[in-house]
Amino acid sequence: MNTVHWLSPGDPEQRTGGYLYNARMVEALQSRGVGVVMHSLEGPWPWPGVNPGHGKVLQDIPDGSVVIADGLLWPGLSESDRSFLCQRCSVWVVVHSLLDMEMTPGSPSSVAAIEMEALSQAHGWFATSERTANLVCERLGVESGQYVIPGTFPSRHHEGPQRNHILNVATVTERKGHILLVDALAQISDLDWTLDVVGALDRDVECVQRVRERIEKRGLTERIRLIGELDESGIDGAFASADLLVHTASFEAFGMGLTEALVRGLPVISTPAGALDGLESSAVDIVPSEDLDALVCSLRTVLADRDELKRRTVAAQSLSFPDWPEQAEHLVQVLGIESEGFSIDWLRQREPYDHTARSETLVRRLGQVLGPKPVRLMELATGLGSGTRFVSPRLMNQQHWTLVDHDPRLLARLSQEMDVRLPDLEYQVLEHDIRNLQGLKGHSIDAVLTQALLDLASDEWLVSLADWLTQQRMPFLASLTVDGRVEWTPSDSRDAEVQHAFRTHQTFDRGFGASPGPLAAQRMQQLLLDRGFDVVVEESDWIIPPEDVRMVGAMLDGIAWAASEAASHADVSTNMVSGWYRDRKSSLGTCGLRVGHIDLLAIPKPLVE
């Protein structure tokens, strides 16, 4: 499994554009098989300073890791911390916007030079808009740069104008131009409209106060509401009830709210923004920054003519934008890492633990049921053939194996692994999506085996597997199904919360649909008992000693990213998970763990001796 370490400037659950980009990209990467561990670093970002705690966090990131540092944080790290990390890891900086263009008037002019110096130190950088990438290239004196724009979520189209309800989605700060918007709306007070401003009100309290005073001065307190920050469902509701999005920032590197409005079929009036660069559509009216007259004219044109608003709504409904999975794949290409499937290195690393943990008793019992005759065996989700290499030497029969997997990358390596380690085994390779079990009907086999699969599958697929095995009346050996038990030595007071989040993650969709996760072996046992099988189960736990630092570290990385991804679903703090991860990482060499698994052997009762 690939693991990316993402450095967040403070709490990653904040709901401004940059933090939302990070969170949604992390989720999309994880859904494509890339592990991500989020590290929260506190500080007066982006101002430089020395914080001893930063060094400890960075030390815990393994050598050779891929690191993504938020561009708000990276220039504020000490030069020594940046150098230390860059010497050991491949560091990329995600540049949401240029810092000096985000600063309030009177901020130090040196911030631009500090930012470019820090970017030059990293292995690479990517921006979240083409306009930002071009500006960075100009400042660095390079010809081209990478950019990965935000994705969008599939959304139901806006139903069309109802009551001239305007939406503005932006943190209330000087740069977002709310006073300009209030002044423009005051000049069309003869029209019927209302405005909701959705965005944090605590980032610039002085600006918020000025906006409130301007609203009152213009006599618009009954028509303009400062809503504050909303969660995901609240934002969805705000978009659903709006007829028009208006955005008035003096500078906007991208503007995620703009694409989120348009993908819902909501027309937009906006000052220039990266999200609108090159977009030609009557759904969008771009007005010059800080141009009050142009803004008033555009607002009056749209709000005074219901038919015009309807036309723009129809135009917005015809637009499409890339989704988050597409953009995550783009980022994977930029970073140069594998995205899907299981890491070949990981499958090789885990094999000794798989073979030590597995039940030889159940394999011998399978051999007794099959008898001495030549047998034809099938391994589902074979990967690199680890399960076959365990079972084959322990059966005395002449064997022919069909090794099934959907991943051509793994199958391309499978023959190398088998020919070196079991050169005399007779086998064939079959590339097949095992979600379609009925597609395997033409293969004559005597028993089906699999390893480390059941806890990844959906309940629906487990039922279909049980039905298929019943139709074929074949023995079935499923080994190393994770059952959710993880015991660390020594223990930590946070282990239980992390484990709860980890178990929650095991129920997520891993390509089959929502999974029973830790209950998969128990569920499969009952399904087969109900269908007339004799079923025996045994524990097959991994026991990983402290001295195997590489394996303990790999498990730690995997558990941490899974717990981080599932934290909000499990009502667990991501900061707690990050702290647990850092402390566990610092104790590598002194901590070990047991990982619970179940082996299951099912025999159709007519075959039971």
- Report the CATH number at residue 593: 3.40.50.150
> Does residue 157 lie in a domain region?
no
Which span out of 91-105, 252-266, 315-329 was modeled with the highest average pLDDT? Answer: 252-266
Do 101 and 180 belong to one domain?
A: no
Q: What pLDDT shows up at residue 224?
A: 98
Do 312 and 331 belong to one domain?
A: no
User: Which letter, b or e, does each residue of 231-241 get, where b requires 16 or more Cβ atoms within 10 Å of its Cβ?
Assistant: eeeebbebbee
Mean pLDDT of the chain: 91
Residue 534 in 3-state DSSP?
Answer: strand
Q: What does the DSSP 8-state code read for residue 44?
A: S
Residues with Cβ < 8 Å from 355, sequence gap 6 or more?
386, 389, 390
Give, in degrees to the nearest 5, the angle at Cα 146 between 140 and 150: 125
The rounded distance, in Å, linking the Cα atoms of 438 and 134 is 53
What's the average model confidence in pLDDT over 351-373? 96
Nearest to 38 by CA among 506, 568, 587: 568
> Does residue 461 lie in a domain region?
yes
> Does residue 362 lie in a domain region?
yes
Which runs of consecutive H residues, i.e. helices, occur in 376-519?
Answer: 386-391, 408-421, 459-472, 495-505
The rounded distance, in Å, linking the Cα atoms of 555 and 67 is 18
pLDDT bucket at 420, cuts 50 / 70 / 90: confident
Residues with Cβ < 8 Å from 542, sequence gap 6 or more?
353, 354, 356, 357, 594, 595, 597
Do 449 and 580 belong to one domain?
A: yes
pLDDT bucket at 340, cuts 50 / 70 / 90: very low
Q: The tokens of 311 are what?
A: 């036309």
Residue 377 has pLDDT above 90, yes or no: yes
pLDDT bucket at 475, cuts 50 / 70 / 90: very high
Do 181 and 147 belong to one domain?
A: no
Do 355 and 501 belong to one domain?
A: yes
Give, in degrees to the nearest 5, the angle at Cα 31 between 412 and 132: 105
CB-based contact 540:357 (threshold 8 Å): yes
Domain boundary among 303, 335, 367: 335
What's the average model confidence in pLDDT over 374-403? 95
> Does residue 160 lie in a domain region?
no
Q: What pLDDT shows up at residue 341?
A: 47
Q: What is the dihedral of CA 598, 604, 606, 609, to 10 degrees?
A: -20
Residue 106 has pLDDT above 60, yes or no: no
The rounded distance, in Å, linking the Cα atoms of 266 and 284 is 9
> Does residue 549 lie in a domain region?
yes
The rounded distance, in Å, linking the Cα atoms of 61 and 5 is 7
Domain boundary among 311, 335, 359: 335
Do 294 and 433 belong to one domain?
A: no
Residue 474 has pLDDT above 80, yes or no: yes
The rounded distance, in Å, linking the Cα atoms of 184 and 290 is 11
Residue 491 in 3-state DSSP?
Answer: coil
pLDDT bucket at 102, cuts 50 / 70 / 90: confident
The rounded distance, in Å, linking the Cα atoms of 162 and 561 is 44
The rounded distance, in Å, linking the Cα atoms of 111 and 75 is 9
CB-based contact 476:447 (threshold 8 Å): yes
592-604/476-489 β-pairing: antiparallel
What's the average model confidence in pLDDT over 524-535? 97
Instruction: Say which residue the tokens 């009830």 belong to.
Output: 241
Do 121 and 172 belong to one domain?
A: no
Residue 430 has pLDDT above 70, yes or no: yes
Burial label for 32, CB within 10 Å (0-12, 13-18, 19+), is: middle
Q: 376 phi and psi, to 5 degrees?
A: -115, 120
Do 472 and 602 belong to one domain?
A: yes
Q: What pLDDT shows up at residue 103?
A: 67
| Backbone φ/ψ region at 46: left (φ over 0), alpha (ψ -120 to 50), beta | alpha
Lowest mean pLDDT among 77-81, 95-99, 167-171, 343-347: 343-347
What's the average model confidence in pLDDT over 455-483? 95
Range of the domain at 73: 2-151+326-335
The rounded distance, in Å, linking the Cα atoms of 70 and 329 is 19
Do 222 and 199 belong to one domain?
A: yes
pTM of the entire structure?
0.60
CB atoms within 10 A of CB 106: 6
Instruction: Say which residue the tokens 């707690």 belong to.
Output: 576
> Does residue 135 lie in a domain region?
yes
Q: What is the pLDDT of residues 431-452, one digit of tens each?
A: 999 999 989 977 789 999 999 9
Q: Strand order of the sheet with strand 146-147?
A: 34-41, 2-9, 66-70, 90-95, 124-127, 146-147
CB atoms within 10 A of CB 348: 14
Q: What is the pLDDT of residues 478-519, one digit of tens each?
A: 999 999 999 999 999 999 999 999 999 999 887 788 899 999
CB atoms within 10 A of CB 534: 16
Cα torsion 546, 552, 556, 562: sign: negative
The rounded distance, in Å, linking the Cα atoms of 448 and 379 is 6
Do 458 and 367 belong to one domain?
A: yes
What CATH number does residue 269 fall under?
3.40.50.2000
Residues with Cβ < 8 Å from 602, sequence gap 6 or more?
469, 475, 476, 477, 478, 524, 525, 528, 533, 534, 535
Cα torsion 542, 546, 548, 550: sign: positive
Q: The tokens of 132 are what?
A: 């930002």
pLDDT bucket at 342, cuts 50 / 70 / 90: low
Do 317 and 232 belong to one domain?
A: yes
Residues with Cβ < 8 Å from 206, sequence gap 6 or more?
none
> Does residue 268 lie in a domain region?
yes
> Does residue 203 lie in a domain region?
yes
Nearest to 542 by CA among 479, 476, 478: 479
Q: 134 phi and psi, to 5 degrees?
A: -65, -40
For the chain, how many structural domains are there in total? 3
Domain boundary among 335, 359, 394: 335
Do 504 and 484 belong to one domain?
A: yes
Q: The tokens of 521 are what?
A: 């072996």
**H, E, C per residue of 493-530:** CCHHHHHHHHHHHCCCCCCCCCCCHHHHHHHHHHHHHH
